[in-house]
């Protein structure tokens, strides 16, 4: 893997908490407007620039992208974002529920993405790619990082441990969720060279979160390279547009949460008929009114009619290949498709998805409200399953992985010049 240090654009120490925000894709425009209320320094003014219009306009309106550029320029003029004078690496640590993960902040090489060494496990949608590509193009910068995982290495762990033993540049707790965010700067030339060399020996990295941001950043970088070549300009490969912003975490520190399903109806079946049909492929156990958490692979929690049920997939209902063994595959094939007639998880309006961070009570509440008729709780996939699927060149079914905590946006930006 090829990486390089870069001149990060970031807030002064005293403004880090005020500037930083959640990623653009974990909340809608109205939520961003509420979170940015009274805070002109919030990064939402750049990554969700539709909030700057009254009344709020469509987030894909051309004026929205223009406003992002205007706001990015304003943040720099005001000194809310300042560019480092020297190229550096950075370490970004996140703490949730007493567990901390340490990510190395780097400029990742576009060609590693284009040639498959930065590996993905999800499909991307072209419309979402193009939205982020426009945002990167107009700002000439990767405003938000992507989230990578790499096979852990003791030598890199030792360097990061040494760096993080020092006083951090930023250290704050988000008021919204109570997660901790801590940030260090690596400006020692010898340490920078060692990190570059060690990561150069890593054969692959894996996109944990941010598939659309990764695609957009790499495609714009490649686009800029092709434009320069077409204009007869020399391209050395060291230009900033050949790289994009990533935070890289060792795989053994990451926690993948469950990603659950709620469905609006039973496809014409009564609850008793649905439960009876489930018995063809599952052992069905009534667990009563207490929330049931799946305790192992191939066990599921079903909430229906004020009761929780444990479903255990019978032998022979799943395969041992990297995709067939996944509980999202088992549930999609044998429950959502076969019994409920939900063929396309990406487009069917009868199904919705709930990240594990919200807890299983959120599933129960949506059914009890009458909005949904059943909820399905899944056992989370493992980091090793994600790596195995990416290595095999396969793609996971939609809505399989949920990583927490999410990267905070606004702590570091990478400019493409």
User: Per-residue pLDDT tens for 318-343?
Assistant: 998 889 999 999 999 999 999 999 99
| Tokens at 387, concatenated | 């790596």
Q: Per-residue pLDDT averaged across 61-73, rounded?
A: 98
Question: Which residue in this structure is represented by tokens 């659309």?
Answer: 212
- Find how far residue 358's CA is from the centre of its chain: 16
Instruction: Please state, rounded to an integer, the average pLDDT across all residues of the chain.
Output: 96
Q: What number of other Cβ atoms are within 10 A of residue 28's Cβ? A: 10
Q: Say whether pLDDT at 129 is over 90.
A: yes
pLDDT at 262: 98
Token duo for residue 33:
């407007």
pLDDT digits (tens, 9 = 90+) for 164-206: 999 999 999 999 999 999 999 999 999 999 999 999 999 999 9
Q: What is the DSSP string of 234-275?
A: ---S-SGGGEEEEEEEEGGG--EEPEEEEES--TT--HHHHH
Cis bond leading into 254, ω under 30°? no
Tell me 6's DSSP state.
B
pLDDT at position 399, please? Answer: 85
From 56, 14, 65, 2, select the one nearest 32 (Cα to Cα): 56
Q: For residues 197-223, b (16+ Cβ closer than 10 Å) or e, as one string? A: ebbeeeebbbbbbbbbbbbbbbbbbbe
Looking at residue 125, what is its pLDDT? Answer: 82
pLDDT at 345 over 90: no
Which residues touch 159 (CB under 8 Å, ≥6 apart)? Answer: 191, 194, 195, 198
pLDDT for residue 28: 93
Looking at the predicted structure, is the pLDDT value of residue 212 above 90?
yes
pLDDT of 155 strictly over 90: yes
Phi, psi (5° rounding) for residue 314?
-75, 150
Domain range list for the chain: 3-255+405-415, 259-379
pLDDT value for 9: 98
Q: Are 49 and 68 in contact (CB under 8 A)?
A: yes
Q: How confident is the model at residue 346 (pLDDT cuts 50, 70, 90)?
A: confident
Quick one: which H or E segment has residue 77?
A: helix 62-77
CATH of 259-379, one of 3.90.550, 3.30.70, 2.60.40, 3.30.1760: 3.30.1760
Tokens of 122: 């999800």
- Is the per-residue pLDDT at 122 higher than 90? no
- Cite the DSSP H helix spans in 255-382: 271-278, 327-331, 360-368
Task: Please give the pLDDT value at position 126.
Answer: 87
The per-residue pLDDT for 223 is 96
Its pTM stands at 0.91
């Amino acid at each position: 893997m090829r990486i390089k240090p870069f001149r990060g654009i970031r807030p002064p120490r005293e403004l880090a908490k005020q500037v930083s925000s959640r990623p653009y894709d974990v909340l809608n425009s109205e939520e961003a407007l509420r979170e940015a209320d009274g805070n002109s320094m919030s990064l939402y003014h750049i990554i969700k620039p539709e909030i700057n219009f009254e009344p709020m306009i469509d987030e894909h309106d051309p004026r929205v992208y223009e406003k992002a550029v205007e706001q990015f320029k304003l943040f720099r003029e005001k000194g809310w974002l300042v560019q480092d004078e020297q190229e550096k690496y950075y370490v970004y640590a996140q703490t949730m529920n007493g567990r901390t993960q340490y990510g190395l902040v780097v400029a990742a090489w576009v060609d590693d993405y284009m040639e498959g060494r930065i590996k993905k496990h999800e499909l991307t949608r072209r419309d979402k790619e193009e939205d982020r590509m426009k945002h990167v193009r107009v700002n000439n910068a990767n405003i938000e990082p992507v989230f990578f995982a790499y096979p852990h290495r003791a030598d890199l762990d030792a360097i990061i441990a040494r760096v993080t033993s020092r006083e951090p540049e930023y250290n704050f707790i988000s008021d919204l969720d109570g997660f901790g965010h801590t940030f260090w700067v690596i400006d020692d030339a010898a340490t920078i060279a060692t990190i570059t060399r060690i990561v150069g020996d890593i054969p692959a990295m894996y996109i944990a979160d941010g598939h659309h941001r990764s695609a957009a950043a790499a495609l714009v970088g490649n686009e800029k390279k092709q434009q320069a070549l077409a204009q007869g300009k020399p391209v050395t490969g060291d230009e900033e547009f050949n790289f994009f912003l990533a935070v890289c975490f060792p795989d053994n520190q990451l926690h993948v949460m469950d990603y659950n399903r709620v469905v609006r109806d039973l496809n014409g079946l009564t609850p008793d008929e649905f439960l009876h049909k489930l018995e063809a492929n599952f052992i069905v156990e009534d667990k009563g009114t207490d929330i049931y958490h799946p305790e192992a692979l191939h066990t599921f929690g079903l909430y229906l009619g004020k009761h929780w049920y444990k479903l255990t997939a019978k032998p022979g209902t799943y395969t041992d290949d990297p995709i067939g063994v996944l509980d999202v595959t088992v549930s999609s094939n044998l429950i959502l498709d076969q019994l409920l007639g939900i063929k396309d998880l990406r487009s069917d309006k009868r199904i919705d998805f709930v990240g594990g961070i919200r807890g299983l009570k959120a599933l129960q509440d949506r059914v009890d409200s009458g909005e949904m008729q059943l909820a399905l709780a899944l056992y989370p996939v493992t980091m090793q399953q994600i790596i195995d699927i990416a290595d095999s060149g396969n793609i996971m079914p939609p809505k399989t992985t949920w990583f927490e905590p999410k990267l905070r946006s606004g702590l570091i930006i990478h400019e493409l010049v």
